[in-house]
């Protein structure tokens, strides 16, 4: 089945949302402005007000695009693993968890800074809250494939907590998350320590 071609207006609107999503990921919701989005999308400033009811509408659509990307990342990991045997080593299990929980296409510092800033922006916060269960489901699929009894919410909370700890203490986010997920697995008897 082929997808119908987008009209010029639909493509322009997608370009604006994509530009806003990039700014949101890179600099946080406070950096998203009509002027900055228009410049990033090589569009006129009036386009940002024509296609969206306001900045909250644009922010909400940008947040939705980003969050859907996070869900798709975890779902891709689950799909890649479908025909493989579950991991037998702690290191493999931890790497699979990190791959499903952490973005690889953006600096992690920016990812977590924009997440913590989201609380101040109702349009962004609502999208994140409304879509959280879909992200948990995608990560839960990965954990179930691994044979883990842990909930996706707990694992993601450990990964996110590790990121905040690393940011506040000037350490590497991935390494801190790796160490804490290992500790979680050991403490819950999920995998024998390597």
pLDDT in tens, 111-145: 898 888 998 999 999 999 999 999 999 999 999 99
pLDDT (tens digit per residue) in 15-37:
999 999 999 999 999 999 999 99
Q: Print the SS3 string covering 24-54.
A: HHHHCHHHCCHHHHHHHCCCCHHHHHHCCCC
Q: Is the pLDDT of residue 87 over 50?
A: yes
What mean pLDDT is predicted for residues 70-90? 91
Q: What was the pLDDT predicted at 18?
A: 97
Q: What was the pLDDT predicted at 1?
A: 45
Q: What was the pLDDT predicted at 2?
A: 46
Q: What was the pLDDT predicted at 82?
A: 86
Q: Is the pLDDT of residue 5 over 70?
A: yes
Q: Is the pLDDT of residue 41 over 80?
A: yes
Give the global pTM: 0.88
The answer to whether the CB of 51 falls within 8 A of the CB of 118 is no
Of all residues in the chain, the percent with pLDDT exceeding 90 is 78
Q: Which domains does the chain have, with CATH numbers?
A: 8-187 (1.10.357.10)
């Amino acid at each position: 089945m082929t997808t119908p071609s987008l009209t010029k207006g639909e493509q322009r609107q997608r370009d604006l949302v994509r530009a806003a999503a990039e700014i949101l990921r890179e600099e946080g919701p406070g950096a998203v402005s009509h002027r900055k989005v228009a410049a990033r999308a090589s569009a006129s400033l009036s386009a940002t007000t024509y296609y969206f009811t306001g900045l909250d509408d644009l922010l909400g659509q940008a947040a939705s695009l980003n969050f859907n990307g996070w869900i798709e990342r975890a779902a891709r990991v689950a799909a890649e693993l479908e025909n493989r045997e579950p991991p037998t080593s702690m290191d493999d299990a931890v790497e699979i968890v990190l791959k499903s929980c952490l973005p690889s296409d953006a600096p992690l510092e920016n990812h977590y800074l924009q997440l913590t800033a989201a609380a101040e922006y109702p349009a962004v916060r609502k999208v994140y809250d409304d879509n959280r269960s879909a992200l948990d489901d995608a990560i839960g699929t990965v954990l179930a494939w691994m044979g883990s009894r842990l909930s996706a919410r707990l694992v993601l909370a450990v990964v996110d907590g590790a990121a905040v700890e690393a940011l506040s203490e000037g350490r590497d986010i991935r390494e801190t998350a790796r160490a804490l997920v290992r500790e979680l697995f050991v403490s819950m008897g999920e995998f024998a320590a390597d």
